Amino acid sequence: MIDLYNFASPFLFELSPGLITVLPRSSRSKPTLSPAFNFRRKPGCPRQTKRGGHLFKAAYVVLLVVVCTVASAQDQLRSWEWQNPLPQGNSINSIKFANDKRHGWAVGSDGVVLTTSNGGFEWEQQQCPANTTLYGLFVRDRLRVVLTGARGVVLTTSNGGRKWVARPTGVRDHLFAITFAPDNPQRGWAVGSFGSIIATTDGGLTWKTQTSHTSSHLFSVAFANAKNGIAVGAKGTLLVTTTGGAEWRAESGLSDSVLTSVHFASARRATVVGYRGSILQTGDGGETWTSVSSLVTTDLFSVFFSDELHGWAAGDSGVVLTTGDGGNIWLPVNVRTSPRLGTVFFADESLGWAAGADGLVVRTDDGGLSWRRLTEGGRDDLANIFFVDNSHGWAVGARGKILFTNSGGKSWTVRPSGTNASLNSIRFVNEKTGWIAGDKGTILHSANGGVTWNSIASPATEDLLSLCFVSAAKGWIVGARGAVWHTKDEGASWSFQHTNTFNWLEDVEFVDDLHGVAVGSNGTILRTENGGETWRRVDRNIKEWLYGLAFADSQRGYIVGARGIVLRTDDGGATWKDLESGISSNLFSVALAGRNDVLIAGEQGRIIHSKDAGQTWEVQPTITSSSLYSVAYRGGNNIWVAGHGGAILRRLEPIATVRIPVSRLPPLLRGGSKTQGTNPENPIDDGDIPRAVPPKKPVRQ
């Protein structure tokens, strides 16, 4: 079930949940910022599973006044840490700075609160009592800050975030934005789902509801002073007040697009932005409005003016618009890698910050002409993660990404792949020999422990989704349209094995040279007892998409898939038993530390664990709601999960007593942390946004 109280972005609220599509692994991603929950899918790949959802649960949440240090115990019980991106990879919904231009905050999904005291070059995560998505942020100064979030959450601090206090609001609506009157810092407003508006007259300590006369979700609010304000939201909703919110007047017929952000450049001049590049402006406090061409059709999510002339708007696909004439003319700038930027803030006409998906925070010192990254690590989706021992591991994903660690994931370095194709699966046969499979028939091979990778010529042209090698010479790769490719000579030649199916094959496992199983779309389970010369379908009368497969030995194995399906075999794959997982969301990956010790990862950061071969399951809370596509499990706390937005998490505390013995590695892999391409004076250009560097202090002569 989708957690409708923990959206990564408020703009997913537009319209209804719609239909969820179950996808091939290479197409999995989090919902885009479209009005419905639409997942990307491969061209020509039919939609497989559709699921509606109840929009909201009728539950009233009473927020208690608690301090952050007490609530942090809940986070400690989660026992996970971010390894990529850093400091974290959850979406950022709002970023703001104090007038000193050094102290700032960023808030986002899964209760993320980040703070900096040096302009964003270093970030520290603060604990807070609300374990839910945070949307709105107002920074009065370096000590006093107010946050808003899902379920009517309002948090305040008067000591720079060392202690956060949850304030009762009397509403359970999601509060997407907050603002205070420039001429009266005690007067503030927050807006949210279903037209909710609440107001405070004591700096955020207490709140009362106001009547908006709309049921549309309100995404942004701005006030020029204690009387004059504007709120905007879904379905082109634009509300104006001249009474401090005692009465709100709807301006109709201005736009049918979702309006996402509003900002006052002066007492009378305000700008509104929205979907499809929509820009509206008023010069009389909202009495009349004009539409301004943005020259783009990209969805815009945030607008900010540092004065009457200089303004910026940020949105999808890395688009940042800038104006120097009060908004009459807007010029577009594209941030490298085309990230979704959900929030933008400027301290003056030169210095600004933007943030958005996958924890990305960027900074500009030239008025938005160029942007540099303040966060570490790549944000390309990672499809597969693999560890040969408790220290040495690899992760592969979109845009030909290969990451390597020899420190258990404390640091990850990019290894050149020579391709931009999405890489979907990686395995090492021994300490030196590794294989990777990817889209468009991509096959890569390493003979030196993954230091370098070479492309292998093959007749395959379809997307290849998984591979399995039983020796250095013999292996199988499976993929789209029922493809199975087999090599007996270390990849020098490949033969096509007929499966009599055109279903996508997502995963494959062989327990020896002869016996193997492949799984995929439409409940496909294929089995061979002769090395793939013939494949036979195992009929389980299921239609769910099956994503992951793992065997503990020649007899016992597990399959996971859509709608929380988990299957187990005790006879080498001849028959499969349905296990009740207790969840209904998609499960993408399964890993084993023994016959009975099973760990499964899936949508919305879901991880479940069983110590008794799937008879009972325990949900393992994580620190993200991003989809997790792959899990590496070596017993105890040696657990890594990888997924959407480059997410890599590691477990800090054991969840089982079984541990897999540590393998002995040659010097090539045991070497120190310096790896090819990690020399800071000669870095590899991995295609990411350039890293921001703090300005050097002038040297006294």
DSSP 617-638: -EE---S--S-EEEEEE-BTT-
Q: Residue 443: which of 487, 388, 482, 403 has the closest Cα?
A: 487
Q: State the pLDDT at residue 654.
A: 82
Of the chain, the percentage scoring pLDDT greater than 70 comes to 84
For the segment 274-302, what is each residue's pLDDT rounded down to a tens digit? 999 999 999 999 999 999 999 999 999 99
Q: What is the dihedral of CA 410, 414, 415, 416, to 10 degrees?
A: 180
What is the rounded distance in angstroms from the CA atom of residue 166 to the CA atom of residue 138?
15
Output 506 or 10, whichever has higher pLDDT: 506
**Number of domains forming the structure of the chain:** 2
Q: State the pLDDT at residue 628.
A: 98
Residue 546 located in a structural domain: yes
Residue 510 located in a structural domain: yes
Final residue of a domain: which of 128, 163, 198? Answer: 163
Q: Does 355 score more than 80 pLDDT?
A: yes
- Mean pLDDT of the region 301-312: 98
Give how far the C-alpha of residue 692 lies from the chain's centroid of Cα atoms, to the nearest Å. Answer: 22
Q: State the pLDDT at residue 670.
A: 41
Q: State the pLDDT at residue 681.
A: 40
Q: State the pLDDT at residue 40.
A: 30
Token readout for 207 is: 């709140």
Token readout for 502 is: 């055109």
CA-angle at 449, arms to 445 and 453, nearest 5°: 35
Of the chain, the percentage scoring pLDDT greater than 90 comes to 80
Q: Supply the range of the domain harboring residue 98.
A: 92-163
Residue 417 located in a structural domain: yes
pTM given for the model: 0.87
Residue 574 — very low, low, confident or very high, per pLDDT cuts 50/70/90?
very high
What is the rounded distance in angstroms from the CA atom of residue 343 to the CA atom of residue 13?
17
Q: State the pLDDT at residue 214.
A: 97
Residue 48 located in a structural domain: no
Q: Are 273 and 300 spatial neighbours (Cβ–Cβ below 8 Å)?
A: yes
Output 72 or 51, whichever has higher pLDDT: 72
Q: Residue 154: which of 205, 79, 90, 197 has the closest Cα?
A: 205
Q: Which of 189-193, 428-432, 679-683 has the highest mean pLDDT?
A: 189-193
- Mean pLDDT of the region 110-114: 96
What is the rounded distance in angstroms from the CA atom of residue 254 to the CA atom of residue 596?
61
Q: State the pLDDT at residue 28.
A: 53
Q: State the pLDDT at residue 12.
A: 56
Q: State the pLDDT at residue 399.
A: 96
Residue 416 located in a structural domain: yes
Q: Are 105 and 93 spatial neighbours (Cβ–Cβ below 8 Å)?
A: no
Distances 473 to 366, 387, 429, 493, 509 between C-alpha atoms, Å: 55, 21, 9, 11, 16
What is the rounded distance in angstroms from the CA atom of residue 38 to the CA atom of residue 20?
6
For the segment 534-559, what is each residue's pLDDT rounded down to a tens digit? 999 999 989 999 999 999 999 999 99
Q: Does 5 score more than 70 pLDDT?
A: no
Final residue of a domain: which of 163, 185, 205? Answer: 163
Q: Which residues are CB-contacts of 353 (< 8 A; sequence separation ≥ 6)? A: 95, 97, 104, 120, 344, 345, 346, 361, 362, 363, 364, 374
For the segment 27-63, what is each residue's pLDDT rounded down to a tens digit? 554 333 332 223 233 333 333 333 333 322 333 233 3
Task: Kindly report the backbone phi and psi dihedral angles of residue 45, in degrees, each rounded to the nearest multiple of 5, phi listed first.
Answer: -90, 120
The DSSP string of 674-688 is --TT--TTS----SS
Q: Does 368 score more than 90 pLDDT?
A: yes
Final residue of a domain: which of 100, 131, 163? Answer: 163
Token readout for 637 is: 């706390």
Q: State the pLDDT at residue 37.
A: 26
Q: Assign 236 to helix, strand or coil.
A: helix
Q: State the pLDDT at residue 128.
A: 86
CB atoms under 10 Å from CB of 150, counted, come to 26
Residue 169 located in a structural domain: no
- Can you name the residues that pair with 208 across neighbouring β-strands? 199
Residue 573 located in a structural domain: yes
CB atoms under 10 Å from CB of 162, counted, come to 14
Q: Assign 573 to helix, strand or coil.
A: coil
* 371, amino acid identity: W
Q: Which residues are CB-contacts of 372 (< 8 A; sequence separation ≥ 6)? A: 362, 363, 364, 689, 690, 691, 692, 693
Average pLDDT, the chain: 87
Residue 303 — very low, low, confident or very high, per pLDDT cuts 50/70/90?
very high
Q: Assign 649 to helix, strand or coil.
A: strand
Q: Does 414 score more than 80 pLDDT?
A: yes
Residue 208 located in a structural domain: no
Cis before residue 695, ω within 30 degrees of 0? no
* 591, amino acid identity: A
For the segment 134-167, what is each residue's pLDDT rounded down to a tens digit? 999 999 999 999 999 999 999 999 999 999 999 9
Q: Does 423 score more than 90 pLDDT?
A: yes
What CATH number did the domain enclosing 145 receive? 2.40.10
Residue 7 — very low, low, confident or very high, per pLDDT cuts 50/70/90?
low
CB atoms under 10 Å from CB of 531, counted, come to 18
- Mean pLDDT of the region 454-482: 97
What CATH number did the domain enclosing 572 receive? 2.130.10.10
Q: Are 548 and 588 spatial neighbours (Cβ–Cβ below 8 Å)?
A: yes
Q: Does 682 score more than 80 pLDDT?
A: no
Q: State the pLDDT at residue 111.
A: 95
Q: Does 6 score more than 70 pLDDT?
A: no
